[in-house]
Structure 1
Protein backbone atom coordinates (compact mmCIF):
# COMPACT_ATOMS: atom_id res chain seq x y z
CA UNK A 1 0.00 0.00 0.00
CA UNK A 2 1.35 3.44 -0.86
CA UNK A 3 2.04 5.95 1.86
CA UNK A 4 -0.38 8.86 1.87
CA UNK A 5 1.00 12.41 2.09
CA UNK A 6 -0.31 13.96 5.32
CA UNK A 7 2.62 16.30 5.89
CA UNK A 8 0.61 19.52 5.71
CA UNK A 9 -2.88 20.76 6.44
CA UNK A 10 -3.55 21.00 2.72
CA UNK A 11 -2.33 17.43 2.11
CA UNK A 12 -4.59 16.14 4.90
CA UNK A 13 -7.56 18.05 3.45
CA UNK A 14 -6.92 16.42 0.08
CA UNK A 15 -6.70 13.00 1.74
CA UNK A 16 -9.91 13.43 3.76
CA UNK A 17 -11.82 14.57 0.66
CA UNK A 18 -10.61 11.65 -1.47
CA UNK A 19 -12.89 8.92 -2.72
CA UNK A 20 -10.60 6.30 -1.17
CA UNK A 21 -11.04 7.82 2.30
CA UNK A 22 -14.81 8.24 1.87
CA UNK A 23 -15.17 4.57 0.85
CA UNK A 24 -13.02 3.13 3.66
CA UNK A 25 -14.67 5.48 6.18
CA UNK A 26 -18.12 4.22 5.19
CA UNK A 27 -16.91 0.61 5.34
CA UNK A 28 -15.67 1.18 8.93
CA UNK A 29 -18.94 2.84 9.94
CA UNK A 30 -20.84 -0.13 8.50
CA UNK A 31 -18.60 -2.66 10.28
CA UNK A 32 -19.11 -0.82 13.58
CA UNK A 33 -22.89 -0.64 13.02
CA UNK A 34 -22.70 3.18 13.15
CA UNK A 35 -22.00 3.00 16.89
CA UNK A 36 -19.36 4.68 19.03
CA UNK A 37 -16.95 1.89 19.92
CA UNK A 38 -15.86 3.46 23.23
CA UNK A 39 -19.46 3.69 24.41
CA UNK A 40 -20.09 0.15 23.19
CA UNK A 41 -17.10 -1.09 25.23
CA UNK A 42 -18.81 0.42 28.31
CA UNK A 43 -22.02 -1.46 27.52
CA UNK A 44 -23.77 1.65 26.20
CA UNK A 45 -25.26 2.31 22.80
CA UNK A 46 -24.56 5.62 21.13
CA UNK A 47 -25.33 5.51 17.45
CA UNK A 48 -25.98 7.79 14.52
CA UNK A 49 -29.41 9.40 14.71
CA UNK A 50 -29.57 9.21 18.52
CA UNK A 51 -29.22 12.04 21.02
CA UNK A 52 -26.43 12.00 23.60
CA UNK A 53 -26.85 12.65 27.34
CA UNK A 54 -26.76 16.40 26.64
CA UNK A 55 -29.55 16.24 24.07
CA UNK A 56 -27.24 16.76 21.10
CA UNK A 57 -27.59 14.71 17.94
CA UNK A 58 -24.79 12.13 17.80
CA UNK A 59 -22.10 12.84 15.23
CA UNK A 60 -19.86 9.90 14.37
CA UNK A 61 -16.24 10.19 13.28
CA UNK A 62 -13.78 7.58 12.07
CA UNK A 63 -10.60 7.59 14.13
CA UNK A 64 -7.14 6.37 13.17
CA UNK A 65 -6.05 4.13 16.06
CA UNK A 66 -2.39 4.60 15.19
CA UNK A 67 -2.03 8.31 14.49
CA UNK A 68 -2.22 9.35 10.85
CA UNK A 69 0.78 11.70 11.22
CA UNK A 70 2.93 8.91 12.65
CA UNK A 71 1.68 6.04 10.48
CA UNK A 72 0.59 7.47 7.10
CA UNK A 73 1.07 4.00 5.57
CA UNK A 74 -1.96 2.88 7.67
CA UNK A 75 -4.19 5.73 6.49
CA UNK A 76 -6.49 3.39 4.54
CA UNK A 77 -6.05 0.25 6.67
CA UNK A 78 -9.54 -0.63 7.89
CA UNK A 79 -8.07 -2.45 10.89
CA UNK A 80 -6.47 0.82 12.01
CA UNK A 81 -9.84 2.60 12.06
CA UNK A 82 -12.71 2.71 14.55
CA UNK A 83 -15.93 4.63 14.90
CA UNK A 84 -16.15 7.15 17.74
CA UNK A 85 -18.72 9.78 18.57
CA UNK A 86 -17.50 13.37 18.29
CA UNK A 87 -17.15 13.76 22.07
CA UNK A 88 -15.06 10.56 22.41
CA UNK A 89 -12.94 11.53 19.41
CA UNK A 90 -12.29 14.96 20.94
CA UNK A 91 -11.46 13.31 24.27
CA UNK A 92 -9.06 10.90 22.57
CA UNK A 93 -7.18 13.79 20.94
CA UNK A 94 -7.50 16.07 24.00
CA UNK A 95 -9.32 18.72 21.99
CA UNK A 96 -11.30 21.49 23.68
CA UNK A 97 -10.23 20.02 27.04
CA UNK A 98 -12.57 17.22 25.93
CA UNK A 99 -15.58 18.78 27.60
CA UNK A 100 -18.82 17.58 26.07
CA UNK A 101 -21.06 20.36 24.92
CA UNK A 102 -23.71 21.33 27.42
CA UNK A 103 -26.21 22.91 25.11
CA UNK A 104 -29.47 23.38 26.94
CA UNK A 105 -32.42 21.61 25.42
CA UNK A 106 -35.43 23.77 24.66
CA UNK A 107 -37.80 22.15 27.17
CA UNK A 108 -35.41 21.42 30.05
CA UNK A 109 -36.27 24.71 31.77
CA UNK A 110 -39.58 23.67 33.35
CA UNK A 111 -39.64 24.25 37.09
CA UNK A 112 -43.08 23.12 38.20
Structure 2
Protein backbone atom coordinates (compact mmCIF):
# COMPACT_ATOMS: atom_id res chain seq x y z
CA UNK A 1 0.00 0.00 0.00
CA UNK A 2 1.14 3.54 -0.69
CA UNK A 3 2.33 5.44 2.38
CA UNK A 4 0.59 8.81 2.70
CA UNK A 5 0.56 8.98 6.49
CA UNK A 6 2.61 12.18 6.81
CA UNK A 7 2.90 15.40 4.80
CA UNK A 8 6.37 14.31 3.69
CA UNK A 9 5.05 10.93 2.51
CA UNK A 10 2.20 12.64 0.61
CA UNK A 11 4.70 14.97 -1.03
CA UNK A 12 6.76 11.96 -2.15
CA UNK A 13 3.60 10.36 -3.54
CA UNK A 14 2.62 13.48 -5.52
CA UNK A 15 6.17 13.71 -6.94
CA UNK A 16 6.22 10.05 -7.98
CA UNK A 17 6.20 8.87 -11.57
CA UNK A 18 3.16 6.70 -10.86
CA UNK A 19 1.14 9.75 -9.77
CA UNK A 20 2.35 11.92 -12.66
CA UNK A 21 1.36 9.20 -15.17
CA UNK A 22 -2.04 8.70 -13.52
CA UNK A 23 -2.63 12.46 -13.42
CA UNK A 24 -2.04 12.71 -17.18
CA UNK A 25 -4.34 9.73 -17.77
CA UNK A 26 -7.17 11.34 -15.78
CA UNK A 27 -6.73 14.73 -17.48
CA UNK A 28 -6.97 12.98 -20.86
CA UNK A 29 -9.99 10.91 -19.78
CA UNK A 30 -11.76 14.08 -18.58
CA UNK A 31 -10.91 15.98 -21.80
CA UNK A 32 -8.75 18.44 -19.83
CA UNK A 33 -11.90 20.02 -18.37
CA UNK A 34 -13.13 20.68 -14.84
CA UNK A 35 -15.90 18.15 -14.17
CA UNK A 36 -17.85 20.45 -11.82
CA UNK A 37 -17.72 23.44 -14.16
CA UNK A 38 -18.80 21.22 -17.05
CA UNK A 39 -21.76 19.93 -15.01
CA UNK A 40 -22.84 23.57 -14.61
CA UNK A 41 -22.52 24.28 -18.33
CA UNK A 42 -19.16 26.11 -18.15
CA UNK A 43 -16.01 25.14 -20.00
CA UNK A 44 -12.92 25.40 -17.82
CA UNK A 45 -9.69 24.08 -19.32
CA UNK A 46 -5.96 24.43 -18.69
CA UNK A 47 -6.06 27.49 -20.97
CA UNK A 48 -8.33 29.34 -18.54
CA UNK A 49 -7.49 27.82 -15.14
CA UNK A 50 -5.17 25.49 -13.26
CA UNK A 51 -6.50 21.94 -13.45
CA UNK A 52 -5.99 19.61 -10.51
CA UNK A 53 -6.82 15.97 -9.85
CA UNK A 54 -9.17 15.37 -6.92
CA UNK A 55 -9.38 12.20 -4.89
CA UNK A 56 -13.13 11.67 -4.45
CA UNK A 57 -12.51 9.56 -1.36
CA UNK A 58 -9.73 11.52 0.28
CA UNK A 59 -6.18 10.22 0.00
CA UNK A 60 -5.47 10.60 3.71
CA UNK A 61 -8.33 8.25 4.65
CA UNK A 62 -8.28 5.93 1.63
CA UNK A 63 -4.66 5.39 0.54
CA UNK A 64 -5.68 2.14 -1.14
CA UNK A 65 -7.53 4.29 -3.73
CA UNK A 66 -4.59 6.62 -4.38
CA UNK A 67 -4.16 5.49 -8.00
CA UNK A 68 -7.67 4.19 -8.69
CA UNK A 69 -9.07 6.00 -11.76
CA UNK A 70 -12.67 5.68 -10.56
CA UNK A 71 -11.68 7.66 -7.44
CA UNK A 72 -10.10 10.51 -9.40
CA UNK A 73 -11.57 13.47 -11.28
CA UNK A 74 -10.35 16.69 -12.84
CA UNK A 75 -11.32 19.91 -11.07
CA UNK A 76 -10.14 23.45 -11.61
CA UNK A 77 -8.26 25.09 -8.73
CA UNK A 78 -11.34 27.06 -7.61
CA UNK A 79 -13.66 24.03 -7.59
CA UNK A 80 -11.01 21.94 -5.82
CA UNK A 81 -10.75 24.59 -3.10
CA UNK A 82 -14.55 24.71 -2.76
CA UNK A 83 -14.70 20.93 -2.58
CA UNK A 84 -12.27 20.91 0.36
CA UNK A 85 -13.76 24.09 1.89
CA UNK A 86 -10.34 25.76 1.78
CA UNK A 87 -11.77 29.24 1.27
CA UNK A 88 -14.65 30.73 3.15
CA UNK A 89 -16.38 33.22 0.90
CA UNK A 90 -18.02 36.04 2.83
CA UNK A 91 -21.18 37.54 1.48
CA UNK A 92 -21.23 41.33 1.45
CA UNK A 93 -23.99 43.64 0.45
CA UNK A 94 -23.33 46.96 -1.28
CA UNK A 95 -23.77 48.90 1.97
CA UNK A 96 -20.74 47.17 3.51
CA UNK A 97 -18.37 49.27 1.44
CA UNK A 98 -18.06 53.03 1.37
CA UNK A 99 -17.41 54.49 -2.05
Bucket of the pairwise TM-score, normalised by the shorter protein: 0.7 to 0.9
Q: Give the helix-richer structure, 1 or 2.
A: 2
2:53 aligned residue: 62
Q: Measure, in 2, the Cα distance between the counterparts of 1:81 and 1:98.
A: 26
Q: CA deviation at 1:97?
A: 1.8
- TM-score, normalisation: structure 1: 0.77
**Correspondences of 1:4-83 after superposition (within 5 Å):** 4-50=2-48, 58-83=49-74
How many residues of Structure 1 are paired with residues of Structure 2 in the alignment? 90
Give the ranges of 4+ consecutive aligned residues of structure 1 lying more than 2 Å apart after TM superposition: none
Q: Which runs of 5+ in 1 are unaligned?
A: 51-57, 100-112
Q: CA deviation at 1:36?
A: 0.3
Q: Which runs of 5+ in 2 are unaligned?
A: 91-99
- TM-score, normalisation: structure 2: 0.87
